[in-house]
Structure 1
Amino acid sequence: MRVLYHHALNPGSRKVRLALAEKGLEFELKAEQVWERRQAFLRLNPAGEVPVLIEEDGTVVPGDGVITEYLDEIYPERQLLGETALDRVEVRRLTNWFDRKFAREVSEPLLEEKLLKRLARSGSADSQAIRAANHNIHHHLEYLAWLAERRNWLAGESLSLADLAAAAHLSCVDYLGHVPWDNHPVARDWYARIKSRPIMRALLSDSVPGVPAPAHYADLDF
């Protein structure tokens, strides 16, 4: 069986898990504490980052962007990047929005300050970074709502990698209790739709020892 090295609250890992599940591909999860810099893991991915996918034939595919492009090429029956060139432009644009802009402004600082520093025992949380992320998330939820009001899914009529990227990042931030859903009902309704899909079940059952999720995290009705 293929293996995915991951961390439970790593958005890239979650995006790949959702993509594998949406394509109906079975896989085994192996948790990797990347801050430990294990030599065996570094031989798989010298960058020392998760996710890393190991195919059944031993093929090593590192990085969430590389993995998701690979999956659409090798298993094309369920396209997540879009059917046409123009579809793929929009899917990639929005996927990059969440994987780069949202990550830089919201998910990375929150995960670093609220979780990773604690797990790696690398210092105290930066309250200013947390406040900035809490401020920035409103802009992103407003844009998500703008898209959701005009389209069936974020990039168009069909669920795509853009939705999976958004769900991956938001689910991590939601685990930390930092998504102000009550202030953004349209974004909340979009998230409720994807949250209720079977592909989300494994993510919603994740837990990090010593860091409990809020009560609504796994509640399909919020």
Structure 2
Amino acid sequence: MNAQNPNTLKSIAVYCGSNLGARPEYHKAAQQMGQALAQRDMRLVYGGGNIGLMGTVADTVLEQGGEVVGVIPTFLVEKEVAHQGLSELIETTDMATRKYKMIELADGFIALAGGLGTFEELYEVLSLAQLRLHAKPIGVLNTHGFFDPVIATLQKAADEGFMPHANLSLLCVSDDPDELLEMMANYRFIDAPKWTRPTWLDTSPEKALHHTPKSQL
């Protein structure tokens, strides 16, 4: 690793919707993301579908001559949504195995607009980073402010003492794919204690009933 780009990003897992969304901007952003990955010779790892934004990103990378690995559970293959033109298609037994296989294959993670599955995958890699189980960069392509509520929720959780404010730096945010990839290339993990002792506990008559991990005392 060099000082300017501490992270070697050869493979990026992209999480995004299996629908195209209500705005054409989401489709355009998915195309731009695919172009940016292909131009940097970064392998795309994604959910293996041929529909929605996920299909758009995959098709764009393939059209640009890039490498695409899809990871998809058997039940979705059977529903005929698996992309049949990929560099490699990995079939898993279930959704949980799919998620961890994608995490294993990726050097970084990017979420585009999407629904429950996209949010689940994004929060999973954020949670694993918080627990120091990986130090890979995580980004969101914030098209049309899509992730503003997520960012606000994370800020609220930190402000209310449920996670350290340093954890807000776990997430790289931009509405431009090139800028986002540059931010991720320069990302540095900030280690912060997960458990903290609230100040109100020291003045509470019930403080003896509460437990704070010994490592934080």
In the superposition, the TM-score normalised over structure 2's length comes to 0.30
Higher Rg of the two aligned structures: 2
Using the size of structure 1 for normalisation, the TM-score is 0.30
Greater helix share, structure number: 1
